[in-house]
Structure 1
Amino acid sequence: MAKGVGVITSDRPVVIVDDDRFYMASVLAEFLANAGLEVTFVTPTAVVSPWSENTLEQDRIQRRLVEKNVAIMPLNKLADMSDETLTLACTYTGATHEIACGKLVMVTSRTPNDALWHGLEAVKDRWADAGRLPS
């Protein structure tokens, strides 16, 4: 991201495979589409960014991608890849098909930042001395 879209030199589509299901993949898709790149968005779910339904943003996110001409391929997951193509499999049937791919961006789980929790656990034996809030 620090180097921007200039690092993408292929004239073939950039494919984003979203297995995070929140907002990051859609942000990246919009960023790349705004730079003039052809973007394909692959998700194993029926809609883009389904977790964002909880924040009432899902319809707005998907509408923006449609307006930016991002090709949305719902109900598909990555099954295989080669230098120029991806093989996608239907989430329900497993039926496969290939799509063109110049660059692949995988958006998956994130590494948790749990340093605070581990720090607190390390001093758990001192918690009782910290006092209590009034009931």
Structure 2
Amino acid sequence: MDKVIPFLMFQEGKAEEAMNYYTSLIEDSEITSIHRYGANDAGKEGTVFQATFTLKGQEFMCIDSHVKHAFSFTPSFSIYVACTTEEEIDELYGKLKDDGGHPLMPLGNYGFSKKFGWLNDRFGISWQINFV
């Protein structure tokens, strides 16, 4: 076994937009590769056949599915972010929420953490953000 990588399947050609958004939110993050569908491929030309990106060193893989599925993302899988300052958690949670996100647990003290928030972003990806 070589490695284990979280894999995100986007629909409607949103993979590249999501990668650009995520890497702009988290410092020390980057898109590391993008392979696109060509003119005669199954997917829409120019959309993401397969791509990789990192968020603070954690590698992710994603695609634009050329098949329309009846399912999307679920909060049972989340990107978990451990923030080291309150300013950091407030800023990240605020950006995700204000840019079309849907709060599942607003920022607050839930006993297990002095400041924690959980939300789905505009693409449907779930984020758990914790102040440690």
TM-score using structure 2 length? 0.25
Write 1 or 2 for the structure with the bigger share of strand.
2
The structure that has the greater radius of gyration is 1
Quick one: higher RCO (CA 8 Å, sep 6+), 1 or 2? 1
TM-score, with length taken from structure 1:
0.25
Q: Which has the larger helix fraction?
A: 1
